[in-house]
Amino acid sequence: MTECLFCRIASAQIPSKKVYEDSSSFAFLDINPRNPGHTLVIPKRHAQDIFSIGERDAQELMKAIRKVAIGVRKATGAGGISITQSNGQMAGQVVPHVHFHVIPRTGAEKGLGLESVLPVRNQDEQGLESMARKISASIPRDSPPEKRPGAESPAKEKPGREEPATIKPQTPEEQRIEFDF
C-alpha cells in the first residue's frame, strides 16, 4: 500500500467525496474547503509537483481541471472560480502530490485572489529585463520533467550573466493582511 495520501484517495483506499474521474485524473471535495464546492483535482499517477509530472499527464490533468471548474461554477452558482496550485513547502504545498484547487468564489470575498495576499515586489526596468532573459533561457524547449533539488539544473548559468534583484523575504508579521469579509 502506497503512503501518498492522494494516491490512496484516488485508488479508493481512503474514502472521499468524488466529483469526477477519468482514466488519468481524479477530483474530490477538499475536506477543509475555502468555500462550499472547493474541489481538488489530481493526476492518478503519482507526481510530487509540477516539476515532476509528465507532459502527457499534465495535459490530461488540465483538461480535467477545466471540466471540474465548469461543473463547480454551474453547481454552486459562483461568480468566479479560483484555480490555485503550489509546489514545495516554501510555496505552501502540504500534500506532496501535484494537485489543483478549484475554488468557487462569491461576492462576499470582494474578488481577493493570491495577488492580494502576497505583497508586491517591484523591480526596475533593468531587473525586469534580466529576469525575463533568465527565465526564458531556463525554460526547457522539450518540456522534460525537471530534476529534483540538488540535481544539475536543465539550464546552466552562463558566465557574465546579470543576476536579478534580490528580494528580501518578509516575516509572517510583515506579511499579515487583515480582511473584513
Look up the pTM and report it.
0.74
Strands (E), 14-99: 18-21, 25-29, 39-43, 80-84
In the sheet with 25-29, reading across from the earlier edge strand, the strands are: 18-21, 25-29, 39-43, 100-105, 80-84
The residue extents of the domains of the chain are 5-116
Residue 28 has pLDDT above 50, yes or no: yes
Under a CB-based contact definition with an 8 Å cutoff, are residues 94 and 27 in contact?
Answer: no
The span from the CA of 1 to the CA of 45, in Å, is 14
The CATH architecture assigned to 5-116 reads: 2-Layer Sandwich (3.30)
Q: What is the pLDDT of residues 42-101, one digit of tens each?
A: 999 999 999 999 999 999 999 999 999 999 999 999 999 999 999 999 999 999 999 999
- What residues contact 50, with CB distance under 8 A and at least 6 apart? 58, 85, 87, 98
Q: Which residues are catalytic?
A: 99
Report pLDDT for 141. 82
Query: Per the structure block, which three cell numbers stand in for 161?
Result: 550573466
Q: What is the pLDDT of residues 95-154, one digit of tens each?
A: 999 999 999 998 777 777 767 777 778 889 999 999 999 999 998 887 555 555 544 444
Spatial CA neighbour of 80 closest among 34, 28, 118: 34
Report pLDDT for 29. 97
Tell me if residue 132 falls in helix, strand or coil. helix
The span from the CA of 124 to the CA of 128, in Å, is 6
Tell me if residue 41 falls in helix, strand or coil. strand
Spatial CA neighbour of 39 closest among 82, 92, 94: 82
- What residues contact 154, with CB distance under 8 A and at least 6 apart? 138, 140, 144, 146, 147
Report pLDDT for 120. 79
